[in-house]
Structure 1
Amino acid sequence: MERRKFLATAAAGAAGAAMAASFPAPGLAQGKRNLRMVMTWPKNSPALGTGAERLAKRIQELSEGKLTVKLYAGGELVPPLEVFDAVSSGAADCYHSASYYFQGKSKALNFFTTVPFGLTASEMAAWLYYGGGQELWDELAGQFNLKPFPVGNTGVQMGGWFAKEINTLDDLKGLKYRMPGLGGEVFRRLGVAVSNLPPQEILPALQSGAIDGTEWVGPYIDLAFGFHKVAKYYYHPGIHEPGSNLDFSVNLDVWKSLTPTQQEIIRTATAAETQLMIAEFDARNSDALDTLVNKHGVQLRQFSDDIVNAIGTAAGQVMAEMAAADDITKRVYASYIDFRKKAMRWSRYGEKAFLDARMLPFKYGD
């Protein structure tokens, strides 16, 4: 049902891609607050759009109706990639998106979504909640009059969709490819013509030949978007996005005007949605991948070690350049890299060791 609703409404959401002339002021009546949330995603898009809907519903229920959130899909009030500016300026109250779309404001924003060969979903949550990441994010976003929260994570993503096989580095050169964030910069250095299209425009661009391929998320949501209708080669692993964190950001003036109880409701609701979203992706991806391969004839492929090493080398260069940026980016970079080292040290003996053991060919169950 979610997929049918999404496909029926995605095109309509894209049609309104112009900034609204004006917005009504946030509602204030009989102690109630009404917040306007703009999002990057199409209406009813699985996990992303529906996750924003779950968040809005939970905020209303926890506040017993005293705090409500009105959702506007990407393109309804502002273009999908202009939600940051709309909330920063006060034209809207909050947004649901991903920080790396707005790296033009500050390269440091990439770290609060994902970076190539970076943190997994659980490691990102650990950095934000217990490694000093949230405090740095607050400081950075505060420069743009925003108060940010993690509000979901896709988990490790797939490497992307291609119209032809990618066997060597030469096969990447000259390709027109959709990829946001620092992953896009890494691929650009490998000779790829990279663009950053909003979700609503990806499939039409593939169909028209404006792009030769795209990364998006993973099997669950990629199936709903229909990329398999155009590109049949589906690559892994998604080394460019090992655990993509989404964010719910509130206009800082609006945030300060909320009561302590209302603020705590938002903290609680966003934390709950973060857990629900990663669980949803983990629950749905396997079945969706089976459908893509066995029903739609999608060809699974793995990037060669040569390609992965080249991506890793380019990623290392891009990350090193981040350390030479402005003060806040230097400090975010240093904190992230230090936490990544700790996470890798533990995962070697923890989760990775267990996953390697689980793959051994002993009999288990039926």
Structure 2
Amino acid sequence: VEKSPQVIGRNTVTRKFNTILKQFVATAAVAVFFMFSTGGAFAQTKTLRMATWLPPMHSLIKTLDRWGQEVSKASGGSLKVEIMKAPLAKPPGQYDLVKKNVTDLAWSVAAWSPKRFHLFRGIDMPFLFSSAEVGSAGLWDWYSKNKFADKEFTDSKLVGAYVNPPHLYHSRKKLTVLNDLKGQKIRAGGYGIGILKKLGAAPLFLNPPSTTQALQKGTIDGTQFPWEALKGFRLVKYSKYHLVIPNGLYTNAWWLSMSKKSWGSLTSTQKNAINAVGLSGSRLIGKGWDESEAAGKNAAIKAGNTITVLSDADTARLRKIVSFVEDGWVAKTNKMGLDGKALLADLRGTISKYK
């Protein structure tokens, strides 16, 4: 019996269609695998939300945005960092935001969690450096090579480590020598509280954003801050005297960390991208701090404020007074089974690489 030509045609078309469909599905599967396993150019951009607690006009916010751009560039555009508009927690509570997976990224001052970040605060020792870029590079390098994040950042992923420029003193009252600090109510934090007590001042801890109102109302007489804070917190007209410490008094270590859940959701390529900007990104943030220092100092000069560089005699006296900071850090580090003195010598050597 002769077969119908129409039936033969239908079967042929069906077979060809099935073959094409299988080829398409196979190709699509490979493409999907490539997108999600390699973070390729066709992968959907992942947005990482970064918590904040500083005013949006603060220079650090602009610098952190630049850090986010570097991460995006390193990831080939598969990552985007978005800084949130409003704070989700007070400054000392920022670490809990990444620890509890509330947000992808957060950052803050290590001194506000001293028990958690003792080793990280090795960079807080007095008179180590005068440039935040140098200090930030030294901190990331030293902390990374000693693998201290494995001890102190066990419930998050450290992705950046940086410092602000060293502190000086700003006051609405006369302040040209160390003795002028006696009896003055000075806003401080970290090791600065102990230092001011030894200088006869009355230190008070306030979150940085609260300083402006406290100075305006006379609740405090002055504050310890880098120059940049004069513009960042609008302090120029409330602090007419500025006492500069040669080579900087001391600084604060700042951490930038990611929640473990967010880190685990990244592709290997995206993780490599973030790791790749560890040193350069930390250095970038420190450089941003340095650039904002000049603007803060110039604002004080323009306002006609009194700027005094501490005398050699007072500087030598201050060095002796603040020695307790380093002694205490070494003693506590030794109790952890480490060689505190050797670690600080190594830190100084690491910092010198970037000067």
Q: Normalising by structure 2, report the TM-score.
A: 0.74
| Alignment counterpart, residue 142 of structure 1, candidates 146, 153, 169 | 153
Q: Deviations over 1:263-291 (max 9, x none)?
A: 22212345443333444444454454334
Distance 2:64 2:212 in 1: 22
State the one-letter code of the partner of 2:272. Answer: E
The alignment status of 1:68 with 2:68, answered yes or no, reads: no
The residue type paired with residue 207 of structure 1 is: Q
- Relative distance call for 1:127 and 1:186 in structure 2 (3 A) is same
> Could you tell me which residue of structure 2 aligns to residue 216 of structure 1?
225
Question: Which residue matches 1:5?
Answer: none
Going from structure 1 to structure 2, the CA distance change for 1:304 and 1:96 (only over 3 Å counts) comes to same
Q: Is the 8 A contact 2:170 2:243 kept in 1?
A: yes
Decide whether the 8 Å contact of 1:166 with 1:303 is kept in 2: no
TM-align CA RMSD:
3.2
Query: Which one of 97, 107, 112 corresponds to residue 101 of structure 1?
Result: 112
User: Which is worse superposed, 261-270 or 328-337?
Assistant: 328-337
Aligned residue number for residue 316 of structure 1: 323
Query: Partners of 2:179 and 2:157 in 1: how far apart?
Result: 43
**Distance in 1, Cα, partners of 2:337 & 2:318:** 23
Residues 1:50 and 2:58 aligned together: no
Q: Find 2:208's aligned residue among 183, 199, 214.
A: 199
Identical-residue share of aligned pairs (%): 21
Amino acid at match of 1:125: A
Give the superposition deviation at 1:257. Answer: 3.9
Structure 1 residue 316 displacement after superposition: 1.3
TM-score, L = length of structure 1: 0.72
- Residue 138 of structure 1 and its aligned partner are, at CA, apart by 0.9
Q: Secondary structure at the match of 2:325?
A: helix
Larger gyration radius, structure 1 or structure 2: 2
1:193-240 deviations in whole A, cap 9, x for unaligned?
22332221111111111211112222x442342212111001112666
Structure 1 residue aligned with 2:244, among 223, 236, 241? 236
Closer, same or farther: CA 107–185 of 1 in aligned 2, 3 Å:
farther
Q: 1:329 to 1:216 in 2, by over 3 A?
A: farther
Could you say if the C-alpha distance between residues 311 and 229 of structure 1 is closer, same or farther in structure 2, counting changes exceeding 3 Å? same
SS of 1:116's partner is: coil
1:35 aligns with 2:35: no
State the distance in 1 between where 2:299 and 2:167 align.
15
Q: Which runs of 5+ in 1 are unaligned?
A: 1-29, 352-366
Q: Is the 8 A contact 1:115 1:181 kept in 2?
A: no
Question: Contact 1:206 / 1:213 at 8 angstroms: preserved in 2?
Answer: yes
Q: Superposition pairs for residues 35-184 of structure 1, below 5 Å?
A: 35-46=48-59, 48-72=60-84, 76-112=87-123, 114-119=124-129, 121=132, 122=134, 125-126=137-138, 128-129=140-141, 131=142, 133-143=144-154, 145-155=155-165, 157-184=166-193
Could you tell me how far apart the structure 1 residues matched to 2:208 and 2:260 are? 27
| CA drift at 1:164 | 2.0
Provide the C-alpha distance between the structure 1 equivalents of 2:105 and 2:204, rounded to a whole number of angstroms: 26
CA distance in 2, matches of 1:55, 1:124: 14
Query: Structure 1 residue 340: deviation in Å?
Result: 4.7
- The CA deviation at 1:119 is 4.3
Q: Which of residues 242, 249, 256 in structure 1 aligns to 2:257?
A: 249
Q: How many residues align?
A: 311
Question: Deviations along 1:141-172, whole A, 9 cap, x unmatched?
Answer: 334x12223354444x3512112223554432
Query: Does the CA contact (< 8 Å) of 1:40 and 1:198 recur in 2?
Result: no
Q: Which residue of 1 aligns with 2:33?
A: none
> Is contact 2:168–2:248 with CA below 8 Å preserved after alignment?
yes
1:339 matched to 2:341? The reply is no
The answer to whether the 8 Å contact 1:177/1:214 transfers is: yes
Q: Over residues 97-128 of structure 1, what are the superposed CA-to-partner deviations in whole Å (9 max), with x where a residue is unaligned?
A: 2322322534334225x222234542552453
The corresponding residue for 2:26 is none
For 1:331, what is the secondary structure of its paired residue? coil
CA contact (8 A) 1:141 1:147 kept: no
Going from structure 1 to structure 2, the CA distance change for 1:107 and 1:63 (only over 3 Å counts) comes to closer
Answering whether residue 199 of structure 2 is matched by residue 190 of structure 1, we say: yes
Match for 1:304: what amino acid?
S
CA distance in 2, matches of 1:68, 1:319: 40
Summarize deviations over 1:254-313 as a string: whole Å, max 9, x none: 3244322112221234544333344444445445433421x2111111223444334322
Higher relative contact order structure (alpha carbons within 8 Å, sequence separation ≥ 6) = 2
Per-residue Cα deviation, 1:80-100 (whole angstroms, up to 9, x for no partner) = 221012212222222122322
* Aligned equivalents of 1:272, 1:343: Cα separation in 2: 15
Distance 2:161 2:330 in 1: 27
Gaps of 5+ in 2: 1-42
- 8 Å CA contact retained: 2:70, 2:277: yes
Per the TM alignment, residue 343 of structure 1 is displaced from its structure 2 partner at its CA by 6.3
CA distance change for structure 1 residues 65 and 106 in 2, over 3 Å: closer, same or farther? closer
